[in-house]
């Protein structure tokens, strides 16, 4: 059984273009594979996600007081248990939606603690004319900063304006194949040089940091003993498997 966690960062919920397209991709995936797949789709409508208050407690002392009052702790568990993440957003003024940004802010601490180290991820953005490259590039960058193994970036430009035209079945099937191939390609790592550099930079920053929660996690998990980012991924996988 494989678990896929999907976040669709649109306030339109099931009526959003991104949601409609991803649902078709996932239906196609399910029809083309024998494997049991459990799919969790979260949106800002189905799962309440309160606005990040910018207190910085997640970095400084660990935890987020908002987690007790909304769905974020449930979503975090689903994310960490998933075999694959699909993080998606419509393009809003050449960037991701504000809801998608808020979702990332709420797990922002993971850019310091690499909670997604080695986790397979795909980014998807939809637009009506342009901006996919910037929005998708941003999503990819932040997931990589959290340690994710981002294996594909899918930017979908919808044709027509009123009504919009969605991709045809052939294209949907191609996207489903991308998901399927990467779901099957267990643990095939795609580490960018920027990710390695980020790990080294973060290591230096954390070494000089004795007080905050993110540095505590580094010490607790033994990340200072890792010489490179692949080491950290191995260590994290061993830790996850022994849980
Ligand atoms: C406020 C706003 C800003 C938008 N900005 C862009 C844009 O910069 N580039 C673009 O191609 N489409 C833009 N769009 C169109 C959306 O990207 C497109 O409808 C997308 O599929 C919306 O995704 P959703 O329905 O999943 O939220 C914008 C739409 C809105 C409402």
Give residue limits of the domains in the chain: 2-190
Does ligand 1 lie within 6 Å of residue 127's CB atom?
A: yes
Rounded to whole angstroms, the Cα distance separating 145 from 135 reads 15
CB of 90 sitting under 6 A from ligand 1: yes
Q: Is 128 in the pocket of ligand 1 (CB under 6 A)?
A: yes
Checking if the pLDDT of 188 tops 80, the result is no
CATH of 2-190, one of 3.40.50.360, 1.10.10.10, 3.90.1640.20, 3.40.50.970: 3.40.50.360
List Cα–Cα distances, 243 to 225, 226, 240, in angstroms: 21, 20, 5
For 42, the enclosing helix (H) or strand (E) is strand 37-42
Mean pLDDT across 123-146: 97
Query: Which of ligand 1's atoms lies nearest the C-alpha of 16?
Result: 25
| pTM score | 0.96
Q: Distances from the Cα of 226 to the Cαs of 58, 192, 200, in angstroms?
A: 24, 17, 10
Average pLDDT over residues 106-129: 97
Span from the CA of 161 to the centroid of ligand 1 (angstroms): 11
CA separation for the pair 112, 147 (Å, rounded)? 9
The β-bridge relationship of strands 37-42 and 2-8 is parallel
Q: Give the pLDDT of residue 189.
A: 80
Q: What is the pLDDT of residues 87-97, one digit of tens each?
A: 999 999 999 99
> Per-residue pLDDT for 185 more than 80?
no
The dihedral formed by the CA atoms of 41, 188, 196 and 105, expressed in degrees to the nearest 10: 0
- Which ligand 1 atom lies nearest to the CA of residue 129? 11
Q: Confidence band (pLDDT; 50, 70, 90) for 187?
A: low
Cα(213) to centroid(ligand 1), Å? 37
Each residue's pLDDT tens digit, 137-162: 999 999 999 999 999 999 999 998 78
174 Cβ below 6 A of ligand 1: no
pLDDT, position 153: 98
DSSP string, 153-218: EEEEEPB-SSSPBPPPHHHHHHHHHHHHHHHHSTT-----HHHHHHHHHHHHHHHT--SSHHHHHH
% of the chain surpassing 90 pLDDT = 88
Least confident stretch, 27-36, 187-196, 215-224 = 187-196
Q: What is the pLDDT of residue 162?
A: 81
- Dig out the tokens for 154 from the structure: 């899918």
Residue 186's pLDDT is what?
64
Mean pLDDT of 191-208: 94
Q: Distance from CA of residue 84 to its chain's centroid?
A: 9
For the segment 6-23, what is each residue's pLDDT rounded down to a tens digit? Answer: 999 999 999 999 999 999
Q: For tokens 């490259």, name the residue.
A: 133
pLDDT at 180 > cutoff 80:
yes
pLDDT of residue 55: 97
Cα 199 to middle of ligand 1, angstroms: 34
Matching residue, tokens 């007790």: 68
Q: How far apart are CA 192 and CA 181, in angstroms?
A: 20
Q: How confident is the model at residue 184 (pLDDT cuts 50, 70, 90)?
A: confident
Residues 120, 182 contacting (CB under 8 angstroms): yes
Q: What is the pLDDT of residue 74?
A: 98
Tell me, in angstroms, the distance from the centre of ligand 1 to residue 18's CA: 10
Mean local confidence (pLDDT), 169-192: 88
C-alpha 34 – ligand 1 centre gap (Å): 35
Q: Is 92 in the pocket of ligand 1 (CB under 6 A)?
A: yes
- Asked whether 44 lines ligand 1 (CB < 6 A), one says no
Q: Where are the beta strands (DSSP E) in 78-118?
A: 84-90
Name the average pLDDT for the chain: 95
């Amino acid at each position: 059984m494989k678990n896929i966690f999907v976040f669709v960062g649109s306030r339109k919920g099931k009526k959003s273009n991104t949601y409609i397209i991803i649902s078709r991709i996932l239906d196609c995936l399910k029809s083309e594979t024998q494997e049991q797949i459990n799919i969790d789709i979260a949106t800002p409508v189905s799962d309440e996600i309160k606005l990040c208050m910018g207190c910085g407690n997640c970095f400084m002392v660990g935890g987020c007081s908002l987690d007790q009052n909304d769905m974020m702790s449930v979503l975090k568990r689903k994310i960490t248990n998933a075999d694959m993440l699909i993080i998606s957003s419509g393009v809003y003024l050449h960037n991701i939606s504000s809801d998608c940004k808020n979702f990332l802010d709420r797990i922002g601490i993971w850019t310091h603690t690499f909670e997604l180290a080695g986790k397979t991820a795909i980014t998807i953005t939809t637009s009506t004319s342009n901006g996919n490259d910037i929005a998708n590039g941003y999503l990819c960058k932040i997931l990589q900063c959290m340690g994710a193994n981002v294996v594909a970036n899918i930017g979908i430009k919808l044709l027509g304006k009123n009504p919009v035209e969605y991709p045809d079945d052939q294209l949907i099937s191609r996207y489903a194949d991308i998901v399927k191939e990467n779901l099957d390609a267990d643990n095939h790592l795609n580490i960018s040089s920027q990710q390695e550099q980020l790990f080294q930079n973060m290591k230096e920053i954390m070494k000089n940091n004795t007080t905050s929660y993110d540095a505590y996690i580094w010490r607790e998990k033994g990340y200072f003993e890792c010489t490179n980012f692949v080491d950290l991924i191995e260590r994290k996988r061993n830790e996850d498997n022994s849980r």
